[in-house]
Structures are given as C-alpha cells and as structure tokens.
Amino acid sequence: MCCQHTEPQRRVVLSVLDFGTYEHERNPSHVRHYRPHLSELATTGLTFPLPVKDVAKFECLNEDIAVNVITFDERQPIPLYITPHRKRKHLVNLLLLTDDESNAHYYVLVRDLSRLVRGRTKHTGDKTSISQYCLHCFRCEHTLTEHIPNCSTHIPQTVTYPVKGKGAVLHYKTTQKEFPVPYVLYVDFESFIESSADRYCVSEHVPSGFFLLKSVEI
C-alpha cells in the first residue's frame, strides 16, 4: 500500500508515518492523514528520492525507527537493505519499485511481509515466519529464532529455486559406464564458519575434524 496523491520523493517518510504512530484505520492510503506530521521525522541532510544507501542515515536521525528495504527481480524477492536495529519500537518494511518507462523509484509500505513472499513455498497456513536477511519462510516462529543468529552474520541474500521442467531434478542413469573398483573411500570434512577479517570475504571455514571410511571388496 502506498500513499495516494503525494510527492514521490517523500513516500519513504509517509510510509513510515503510515506504519507508525499515526496509522489510520479508515482510508490509510490518503496522504491528508499524515501531512501534519511530516516535520516530526528528522530528514536533515537527506536528499529525495532517498537512495537505499542513505536509509541507514534516516535510521540514525530517527532512533526509534528501523527500516528494511526489499525489491523484486523477475518475481524473486531480493533484500536491498536490512536494518541492524531489530529491537527498535517501529520496524518498517518497504518495497522499492521501479517505473520501467521513467526509471523512477518508489517506496511502498509492506504491511505483511509473510503475505508478500510466502507464495514461493507450499505452505498453506495463515502466516509464515520470515527471515529478513534471506527472506526464507519458516512454518514455526521458534525455527526462525534459531535461524536468525546464524543468518544475521552474513550480508543480505536471497534464495533461488529451480524452475520446474528446466533441469530442476538431476538423475544419474548411465550406470553401464561405471568401472569396478577394488575399494571406495568415504571422506567427511567438518569446519566451523567464522567471521572473516577480510572486508571482501563474508566468512571463513575453520577446520574442526575429518572422518575417513574405507570399503574394500572381498
């Protein structure tokens, strides 16, 4: 939902007001409800339309508001900015849309992130729990809670799914081309994933152990 009849450059501010304290149950998309409150959000030093890279600056100016920004590319949701301030009073999810003709960008308020992205799964319940870092859908809240500490250590990412009928399933059928061998080695190598000091590297694999099993034909 976006505010109607408003300046495109201010839609990010109006969307925050719409979701926050000044939400109106009747005709919430009408901008007249929010114009009197525009000055109550700090925008000093910001330029509009607001670039995604400046969303963090908006959060610094408004310390009780956290903002996430996502977009869609070929029907695939992609996180563009994920707030590090998950415990703030107001958490706002914005969808960034692009006009193909004018190349203009618009922010749209996302009231229910679950309804927006859960169509990628087979979940048939009323609501799913969404990881804001990878936009993965979880059936239960406790599984999301366990997932967040690991997922939040990485940069925003998206999960892609294979298209049905286009090599989505791999099959090995040419068993006649196999050669008999006298033994087989099964090796398992384990490691811990730790944060990397290298700014160009997301994480590092630190070895923790390995296992080797040899199977001999008798």
pLDDT, tens digit, 9 for 90 and up, residues 141-182: 888 888 888 888 888 877 676 777 766 777 778 888 888 888
Top-confidence range, 31-35, 105-109, 143-147 = 143-147
Q: Using alpha carbons, list the distances in angstroms from residue 109 to 19, 67, 84, 120, 166.
A: 8, 10, 19, 20, 34
> What size, in residues, is the chain?
218
What is d(CA 53, CA 173) in angstroms, rounded to the nearest whole number?
A: 49
Give the 3-state secondary structure of residue 117.
helix
What is d(CA 216, CA 218) in angstroms, rounded to the nearest whole number?
A: 6
Which residue bears the tokens 């939902």? 1
Residue-wise pLDDT for 5-23, tens only, equals 345 445 566 666 655 555 5
- Model confidence band, residue 69 (pLDDT cutoffs 50, 70, 90): very high
Look at residue 3 in the predicted model and tell me its pLDDT.
40
- Model confidence band, residue 56 (pLDDT cutoffs 50, 70, 90): very high
N- to C-terminal Cα distance for the chain?
A: 69
Residue of 65, 102, 68, 99 whose CA lies nearest to 82: 68
What is d(CA 42, CA 50) in angstroms, rounded to the nearest whole number?
A: 13
For range 45-59, the mean pLDDT: 88
- The model carries a pTM of 0.64
Look at residue 37 in the predicted model and tell me its pLDDT.
67
